[in-house]
Amino acid sequence: MIASDEIAIVGGGIAGLSLALNLHKRGIPSRVYEAAPELKELGVGITLLPHAMRELAALGLDGEMIAAAIEMRESCFFNRFGQLLYREKRGREAGYPYPELGIPRGKLHMILYRAAVSRLGGDRIVTGHHCIGVEQEGRDVRLRFRGRAPVGCAIAIGCDGVNSAVRRQFYPREDLAFGGINSWRGVTPMKSILTGHSYMRIGSIHGGKMVLYPIADLGGGRQLVNWVVNIQSGKPEKNDWNKPGRIEDFLDHFKDWRFDWLDVPQMIRGAEVLLEYPMVDRDPVDSWSSGGVTLAGDAAHPMYPRGSNGAAQALIDARVLAEKLAEASDRRAALKAYEAIRRPATSKIVLANRANPPDFINIKVAELTGDKPFDDLGRFISQDELRNLSEQYKRVAGFARADVN
């Protein structure tokens, strides 16, 4: 049976739910098919950069996000001896019209989910539907699900994440690209660090790197702090969003990281959640769309999670795709028009995240100082040069102030 006007969305993550909300806003009916039996709060923290918040504000969800998050006011770069390299204002503090937030990933997801259920209706977000393939015949599209009846539709959008079944249909031999870097992510309840609104990067990828930021206030000057450590490694493992991690696999790299402003080993030991995740992406491809099917979010452009940009790009995909579908008389042409805008833009970010990661300030300073403590950083590099490096990355990643405004 072919459902006439309805758009089928495979995957109820950030891309899928925001696409459903964007379509609804433009009067286009859709239905989300999510593999998980129920949607619940999973994962650790995520950063929403101002361009992600611009998209959420357009959906009327910025207030709820801000209430569930910590607003970042500054970003600070440190070497592995805890010495400050460079500090800059962030979000509204830096003159952006939208804030930059640290938020529990599950809270972000549940805000999107509740909005989708209340605006579209609960029957439009269908759980327990694991897509295993998509077939097309003429102008009809048919989605196949594990242990379920197939679903017909005119248009299907694969929003099923980094291991997308819809993408696999088009690229059956494609593999994940492992960057040789393993990550462990944790959340620790602790006394707030620096301003309590600071995003911090410590060390460089060559000797072990940590990114940390608060995601919730616990009262009494305590916060939930989200942290990610990256260590270069040779052996790829199958990625899994929620694989439990083991402290003994990485603590040794950080055992001497005791600064007057943060005791890293203590923070790691205090984690109440700990997950392991290898850094993977996929090579940009030449096409996302075929007939009545296209891809969005991580299914289209999985990227190394080191520029805090994946969710933002998924949200932008959702808006652009909904705009094109609303404008078009031919929906298949709309998929191509969406792809013509979004594929080149996101391919650039995937490649930039590989070659030019946002911790290159830390890498550059480690190179210049021989990875040793310094007395006077200015002898090696000026603050203006560091600022230029930071601005350059923001332009590539699409969140320079002029672009977001």
Ligand X SMILES: Cc1cc2nc3c(=O)[nH]c(=O)nc-3n(C[C@H](O)[C@H](O)[C@H](O)COP(=O)(O)OP(=O)(O)OC[C@H]3O[C@@H](n4cnc5c(N)ncnc54)[C@H](O)[C@@H]3O)c2cc1C
User: Which residues contact ligand X (rule: CB under 6 A)?
Assistant: 10-16, 33-36, 46-47, 52, 129-131, 159-161, 165, 183, 185, 277, 297-299, 305, 308-312, 314
Cβ within 8 Å of residue 116, ≥6 positions away: 12, 17, 20, 21, 24, 32, 124, 125
Which residues are within 8 A (CB) of 135 and not within 5 positions of it... i.e. 6 or more apart?
A: 141, 142, 144
Least Å from the CB of residue 372 to ligand X = 30
Residue whose CB is nearest to ligand X in the complex, by number: 13
Amino acid at site 334: A
Could you give the 3-state DSSP secondary structure of residue 54?
helix
Q: How far is the CB of 143 from ligand X (least distance, A)?
A: 9
Nearer to ligand X, 42 or 326 (CB): 42
Which value, to the nearest 10 degrees, does the dihedral of the CA atoms of residues 200, 205, 209, 213 take?
30
Work out how close the CB of 116 gets to ligand X at its nearest, in angstroms, rounded to a whole number: 12
**Of 165 and 293, CB closest to ligand X:** 165
Q: How far apart are CA 289 and CA 296, in angstroms?
A: 10
The distance of closest approach from Cβ of residue 367 to ligand X in the complex, given in angstroms and rounded to an integer, is 26
Q: Which residue has the tokens 């940390």?
A: 212
Q: Identify which of residues 130 and 354 has a Cβ nearer to ligand X in the complex.
A: 130
Q: Are 298 and 157 in contact (CB under 8 A)?
A: no
Helices 383-397 and 331-355, interaxial angle, to 10°?
150
Nearer to ligand X, 148 or 336 (CB): 148
Residue 5 DSSP class: S
Contact by Cβ (8 Å): 248, 268: no
Residue 185 vs 377, nearer CB to ligand X: 185
CB of 49 to ligand X, least distance (A): 7
Nearer to ligand X by Cβ, of 241 and 259: the residue is 241
Pairing assessment for the beta strands 151-153 and 140-145 based on DSSP bridges? antiparallel
Cα dihedral: 106, 108, 113, 118 (round 10): 130
Between 71 and 367, whose beta carbon lies closer to ligand X?
71
Q: d(Cα 278, Cα 237) in Å, to the nearest integer?
A: 7
Which is closer to ligand X, CB of 15 or CB of 120? 15
CB of 316 to ligand X, least distance (A): 11
Minimum CB separation of residue 154 from ligand X in Å reads 19
Cβ count near 242 (within 10 Å):
12
- Beginning with the edge strand found earlier in the chain, give each strand of the sheet holding 155-158 in spatial order: 125-126, 30-33, 7-10, 155-158, 293-295
Kindly state the smallest distance separating residue 31's Cβ from ligand X, in Å: 12
Rounded to the nearest whole angstrom, what is the least distance from the CB of residue 181 to ligand X in the complex? 11
Cβ proximity to ligand X: between 14 and 120 the closer is 14
